Amino acid sequence: MAVNYYTKEGLQRLKDELNELKTKGRADMAKQIAEARDKGDLSENAEYDAAKDAQGLLELKISKLEEVVGNARVIDESNIDTSKVSILSTVKIKNEKNGMEVTYQIVAEEEADLKQGKISVKSPIGKGLLGKKVGEKALVKAPAGDIEFKVLDITL
Residues 65, 96 within the same domain: no
Domain that holds residue 53: 4-74
One domain, residues 70 and 109: no
DSSP conformation letters of 66-135: HHHHHTEEE--GGG--TTS--TT-EEEEEETTT--EEEEEEE-GGG-BGGGTEEETTSHHHHHHTT--TT
Q: Are residues 105 and 60 in the same domain?
A: no
Same domain? For 103 and 70 the reply is: no
pLDDT, tens digit (0-9, with 9 covering 90-100), for 6-45? 878 888 999 999 999 999 999 999 999 888 888 877 777 7
Mark whether 30 and 91 lie in a shared domain: no
How many structural domains are present in the chain?
2
Contact present, 129 and 106 (Cβ < 8 Å)? yes
Same domain (yes/no): 102, 56: no
125 half-sphere exposure, CB direction, 13 A CA radius: 23
- Does the pTM surpass 0.75? The reply is no
Compute the distance between CA of residue 55 and CA of residue 118 in angstroms, rounded to an integer. 32
Which residue among 74, 96, 119 closes a domain?
A: 74
pLDDT, one tens digit per residue, over 97-108 is 899 999 999 988
**CB of 96 closer than 8 Å to CB of 149:** yes
Asked whether residue 46 falls in the same domain as residue 86, the answer is no
| CATH code: domain of residue 56 | 1.10.287.180
Are 38 and 65 in the same domain? yes
Measured from the Cβ of residue 102, the count of other Cβ atoms closer than 10 Å reads: 14
User: Mean of the pLDDT values across residues 106-115?
Assistant: 88
For residues 5 and 87, is the Cβ–Cβ distance under 8 A?
yes
Torsion, Cα 34 40 45 49, to 10 degrees, reads 20
100 shares its domain with 135: yes
